[in-house]
Chains A and B, each alone.
Chain A
Amino acid sequence: MVKKRVFGTLLPSVAALAMMSGAALAQSSDEILAMSWEELVAAADGGTVNWFMWGGSDSINTYVSEWVGGQLKERYDIRLNRVGINDTVEAVNTVLGEAEAGVTDSGSVDLIWINGENFRTMKQADLLFCGYTDLLPNNRFLNWEDPAIANDFGTPVDGCEVPWGRTQVAIGYNTANVQDPPRTVPMLLDWIKANPGRFTYPAPPDFTGSVFVRHVFYHAAGGVDGLLGDFDQAVFDQVAPKAWALLNEIEPFLWRGGQTYPNSSPALTQLFANQEVDFTVTYEPSSIGLNVMNGTFPETTSSYAFDDGTIGNVHYVGIPDNSPNKAAALVLANLLIDPEAQFEKALPDVWGERTVLGPDRVPAEWAARFDALPRHESVVPEADLAERSLPELSSGWLTAIEKGWIENVGR
């Protein structure tokens, strides 16, 4: 009864207030697409972008807030509001919730750091603003003919997101504990059996655990070639039992006898930092260097990619269709693929992530600077990664493998 009275009297007045202040200029997709770049920049002037992104790395937060935010303010007079979240799916759910509530032009999210399953969800639900990539002047530095860029985990990008960075799985180890790390997936499986309790991986559907399982899956399939394209139940039924057998075989030799798995990638990072296990698996090779610099890992840490390859992917930024600040979000997306921004991001003491720009697309002087980039000594060399890169599978495969692992290995 008390509550009813409060809402009865307060809500209407508050709602009236909110409506008065919230009547900003909404920007519909069609209006934006009809503009020239100059008109867009003018429309974005003095605006704000709310960028939802995973907020658990102080290095990434600092790069985004200080360098990107500073440049955005200086060059375009746009305010960047970095919204740190724990999981990208939170931002996706926000947009989904708004769509269900009928919010079509005043959403709260202007840009999301996104890829994979989250991108597919949003694209399928028609929640993304699409078809703007040609508008961005810096789009010319991107190589859209590269299938790794034109497809996000097997889902065609179709101009619905802009690539921001490139990652590839790397294996970290402590040179003080392991002198001669296993260089291929089968060698690793043997090493695990010879060194009980010194290896583990996060339980899928954790992102990193899932990719580790895919490496074993590729090995069981005798290579990735037969797995590319849409999900194929017949191929899956043939390969999966072999993969589960390999994983069940090593299970008793894992950390804690395989009774339990770390529930997340940070949990594995923590186990490795405490030297409870000898290896860490990461999607982000630069994170090994960052973790040595911030004191999480010992200085004797090193990393490498398997000789039989590690899986890599590209991550993107996307603009929800109900964003009220599309022009400013586009200006930001364009800034993110500016060679200068990509170079700053690639510096080892900033973030150390590889550029997503095509080496033959950027001006020669930038290509030379990217080539000459220093590397943290704990991070696997760029060339090692490039020549050992394996593609991601499409989302249907990912779901089936994760589900299969839970049923047959995790239980």
Chain B
Amino acid sequence: MTASNQSSRAAPAGGTRDGRRDVIVRWAVISLLLTWLALPIVPLLIWSFSFRWFFPDVLPADYSLRAWQYVFSPTSGVLQSLRDTLLISGGATLLSVIIGVPAGRALGQYVFRGKSIVELLILAPIIVPGIAVALGIHVLFIRYGLANTLFGVMLVHLIPTLPYMVLVMSGVFANYDTSYEAQARTLGAGPIRAFWYVTLPAILPGIVVGGLFAFLVSWAQYILTLLIGGGRVVTLPLLLFNFATAGRNDITGAISMLYIIPGVVILLLSARYLTGNASAVGGLGRL
């Protein structure tokens, strides 16, 4: 209150006043968001170190490293599962980019017969429950020897990740001017050089955003992994569910901490691409 009174009296230049209010609003929003995102994690963190934490105590009666010892013990399989989950989500993201970029270009740049059907098909996995599709795919995967393998799980994760990737990339390409590429070609660049120096820098923010979506969507898969992995491919969500359903809050908390880290790290690394770039969030190019 006092701050705004002061500034309204003291500042003849309207820009400064607005600027300060902007800063206040921005920080309020940021701290609210941080509280929202971080607060649910706090009890998990405390659980992971707790020993004898009974309702209605605010804090545990004792602390212990038992849960963390179990998580890091070589026989619990948690670290191996972290590695497998990273491999699967990383691989699914890479495949999504490789498929999603050309697909997005085709959808964003060209008009062709049946385009709206193709768009619908690409969105279908978000609308149709994945389990229905996966049950059919499971039979095929068994026949091809892909069931119960890491690679099979990676492939099946493409069902939910691809729509996000293609959607983002088609938005990017809808606002992309191919004459820059033509310019590069007339200046003597081959198709690869033109892609590397012209196309890629232009679409990189879109790839990062789409890739982030793809990674996180794959990272959170449960039922597809269980079905296609047949229990042999154990990702972190599966392990987490094992202990959550068994009521072991301490171990669930410790695995949750491990589970959160990659998402946060990737989010921080790609933060500068996530600044509301219109072309990266344009959907199918006409949203």
Contacts and interface: CB of A to CB of B under 8 A. Distances in A.
Nearest to A94: B230
Given A14-B151, A58-B251, A274-B56, 18 more contacts: A2-B103, A3-B158, A6-B158, A14-B144, A14-B145, A17-B145, A18-B145, A18-B146, A57-B246, A84-B234, A101-B138, A101-B139, A108-B148, A108-B230, A108-B231, A264-B245, A275-B55, A295-B64
A362 B251 CA distance: 38
B167 interface: no
Interface residues of B, number: 51
When A and B form their complex, which 7 residue pairs have the shortest distance between CB atoms, in order from nearest? A56-B246, A18-B145, A274-B55, A266-B247, A65-B75, A295-B51, A15-B144
A252 to B, nearest CB: 24
Contact of B245 (A11, A14, A50, A86): A86
Interface stretch (B21-29, B212-220, B235-243): B235-243
B144 A295 contact: no
B139 A18 contact: no
Given A6-B99, A295-B64, A273 B232 contact: no
Contacts of A18: 144-146, 149
A274 B54 contact: yes
A103 B142 contact: yes
B242 A55 contact: yes
Given A62-B70, A84-B242, A90-B226, A295 B250 contact: yes
Interface of B: 50-56, 62, 64, 66, 70, 73, 75-77, 99, 103, 118, 121-122, 138-139, 142-149, 151, 155, 158, 162, 166, 226, 230-232, 234, 238-239, 241-243, 245-248, 250-251
A294 interface: yes
Contacts of A125: none
A274 B149 CA distance: 41
A66 B73 CA distance: 10
- Counting chain B CB atoms within 10 Å of each CB, which of A17, A56, A98, A295 scores highest? A295
Contacts of B122: 2
Given A264-B245, A266-B245, A84 B144 contact: no
17 contacts: A1-B118, A2-B99, A3-B158, A15-B144, A15-B145, A52-B231, A55-B239, A56-B248, A58-B248, A62-B73, A65-B75, A65-B77, A100-B139, A101-B142, A294-B66, A295-B52, A298-B52
A88 to B, nearest CB: 11
Contacts of A226: none
A84 to B, nearest CB: 5
Contact of A90 (B148, B231, B234, B248): B231
Nearest to A270: B247
Nearest to A5: B99
A14 B52 contact: no
- Counting chain A CB atoms within 10 Å of each CB, which of B62, B103, B246, B248 scores highest? B246
Contact of A58 (B70, B103, B238, B245): B70
B142 A85 contact: no
- Counting chain B CB atoms within 10 Å of each CB, which of A58, A66, A264 scores highest? A58
Nearest to A52: B231
A270 B244 CA distance: 11
B247 A58 contact: no
B51 A98 contact: no
A61 B76 contact: yes
A281 interface: no
A298 B246 CA distance: 18
Nearest to A70: B75
A338 interface: no
A105 interface: no
A363 interface: no
Nearest to B52: A295
A275 B231 contact: no
A66 B158 contact: no
A15 B232 contact: no
Contacts of B248: 56-58, 294, 296
B234 A58 contact: no
Interface string A64-93: 011001000000000001111110001100
A94 B118 CA distance: 34
A19 interface: yes
